[in-house]
Amino acid sequence: MFVSGKEKLFAAFVVTMLTASGTMIWLDEGVNQEIDDIIKSNKGTDWLEPVFMPRHEECIDENNGQEHPEYGIGYEPSLSLDSKGNMFVTAHKDLRWGGEDSPIPIFLDPDDPGLWYACTDGESTSWDYWASWFWKTNDGGLTWDHGDNFDSTPGNMLMANYAAGGSECLGDEGDISVDSNDMIYYLDTTLEDNWWHIFSDGGNSYELGVCQRMNSMAADDRPWLAAQGDGIIHYLGNSGAPPPECTIDSGRYWYYHSENGGTTFSQCYSMPGGWSTIAAQRNGSYVYVAQENADTTSGTVIVRISDDYGRGTGPGPSDGSWQDPVVVGERKGNPPEGYPLVNTNEQGTVAVVWADCPEGKIGAWEMNIALSYDYGVNWSTWEITPDWDGITMYPFVSISETNRIAVSFYGLDYATGNSTGYTEGTPWHLYSAYLDNPQLNDTWEFEIADPTPLHTVTSYEEANSDVHALHDFFETVISPDGSWMGIAYQRNIGQHPFEENEEQRYIMFVRGELN
């Protein structure tokens, strides 16, 4: 547990006052509790008011079925930060909310297919434009708007102007990363390939013209992106199967490497294993990939390390500068669509967090961290589960340049519902905590970052052991000096008009001042 200088000073003051003139230090329980509360308040995080991501004013439709039509509908938000404190958020679009007769129901109702629409009265759409969401903030997260050239695009999908670039490029979900020059790279997948968007000046200048395809050799699910140096980009594609144009290597994930800002990429380097994520130093040469060792319910967590920008990989295959995988921990039961999450800083600190559900997905979950302070040479691994039984889903870790490390997760405390366990009425919350230079077996004191529940377990979810209401992930950042952190996340409000047993999903941001 981290104890600040203020806490030590306060404690010394209390002891001095109580022992003056030989007074015995015996306090009643109430006074003890009051002192404990003061000490806790000094070491916690001051969370500001959560902020909803906005829609373009001209696209707000009071009749589209939203509880809050002025705010963005989506899920699985990604969050990035540049050196000046500007932040950028994208999120998965709600494909079922892209028009009254959107193409999605073609699989469910083949007699009534239609087109996707954006920003069109009478179509009950929650879309503002064809690309996935791209929001920016230039005031530290107090207010948000859309990136340059991400304007509203009224009409149906056949009207998208791919020569205009920006918001005209039809996308599904994406990821964002920033290099050492504060160039912002946004990769938005269309499932069959990806579109590139590049911004500068805190998201206020769009650097591309026409919609730029990545031209990867594989169909792709959600992309993972890491940028570093002067336009070096690492793209980890979740293909699930080997692309036919590549070697006979197998693997869920394929690594692509660019040194010219995404204009061209190496192709077809397989990284065999299960769910994976990637992180890179922004100024240094190290790149890390954290993976499940296989698509299995148990096994190990491994880390792949390159100390030379991931160079020399593919085609071939060739391991290039990637070292042999390092085992950093054990997996004792896969959570639904969970994954190990890796992050790093310029000081050589590397952290991997992951969740386990050894008793099944509605049993008591566990959460783990593996931590290295020497570029991944030596590791300490320990369990950091909070001191209550429940679910610790999609943990995310962020690291400042001062080695302040924050861990956050979607959590459900089984003791807070109508009855103990995964039962109707139990609230989901956003939890977070931080430590300075944590060491083996240190404890994170997790607290709720948003007092409003993100979702409450329904009778359907209880009956079906469905724990997927908040979807597959969310992301956090921590400022380089470690003085504050930001979290992009999902909050469910109201019933979904087009999906049974689903709710409306709103993208949120909350900033915390770290004491």
Please compute the mean of the pLDDT values over residues 108-119 and round it to a whole number.
74
The number of C-alpha atoms within 13 Å of 300 and in the hemisphere containing its C-beta is 9
Confidence label for 217 from pLDDT (cuts 50, 70 and 90): confident
Taking a C-beta distance cutoff of 8 angstroms, is the pair 211, 149 a contact?
no
Of 258, 255, 301, whose CA–CA distance to 278 is shortest? 255
* 7-16, 112-121, 143-152, 450-459: least confidently modelled range: 7-16
What's the pLDDT at 318?
65
Taking a C-beta distance cutoff of 8 angstroms, is the pair 321, 306 a contact?
yes
Confidence label for 111 from pLDDT (cuts 50, 70 and 90): low
Of 337, 342, 367, 336, whose CA–CA distance to 354 is shortest? 367
What's the pLDDT at 34?
40
Taking a C-beta distance cutoff of 8 angstroms, is the pair 182, 232 a contact?
no
Name the more confident of 482 and 100: 482
Average pLDDT, the chain: 88
**Cα distance between residue 322 and residue 273, in whole Å:** 15
Of 339, 334, 405, whose CA–CA distance to 365 is shortest? 334
Is the pLDDT at 31 greater than 80? The verdict is: no
Name the more confident of 23 and 330: 330
Model pLDDT for residues 442-470, shown as the tens digit of each residue: 999 999 999 999 999 999 999 999 999 99
Is the pLDDT at 481 greater than 50? The verdict is: yes
Name the more confident of 251 and 206: 206
Model pLDDT for residues 299-338, shown as the tens digit of each residue: 999 999 999 999 987 655 567 899 999 999 999 998 887 8
What residues pair up with 392 in beta bridges, in sequence order? Answer: 411
Of 369, 376, 328, 322, whose CA–CA distance to 348 is shortest? 376
Taking a C-beta distance cutoff of 8 angstroms, is the pair 398, 406 a contact?
yes
